[in-house]
Amino acid sequence: MSDEVFREYVRGSAFSLTLSKRMIGVLLYLCDKGPEDERLNLAPYQALHRRGLVDFKEGQGYSPTIAGMKVADLLKIAGF
């Protein structure tokens, strides 16, 4: 499902993937590539979900999509 969301996000108009430092931290945490985000704020999770980088399942919470894992790999290469 979220891979479709990512495709729609990319093909919607001009493609630009902008992530805040909080979103980067959350994505890396969800991909087991960074420390846990200790702030109880759903906004970065929801923003990643809108971009198709994480998926949400009731009772299971958020998990990275394939696109999210690839972006996390690029972030690690960039030094995050």
How far, in Å, CA of 61 to CA of 38, rounded? 16
Across the chain, mean pLDDT equals 88
Which distant-in-sequence residues (6+ apart) come within 8 Å of 56 by Cβ? Answer: 45, 49, 62
**What separation, in Å, do the N-terminal and C-terminal C-alpha atoms of the chain show?**
27
Return the higher-pLDDT residue of 12 and 43.
43
The domains found in the chain, sorted by start residue, are: 2-77 (1.10.10)
How far, in Å, CA of 3 to CA of 55, rounded? 9
Single pTM value for the model? 0.80
pLDDT at residue 38 greater than cutoff 80: no
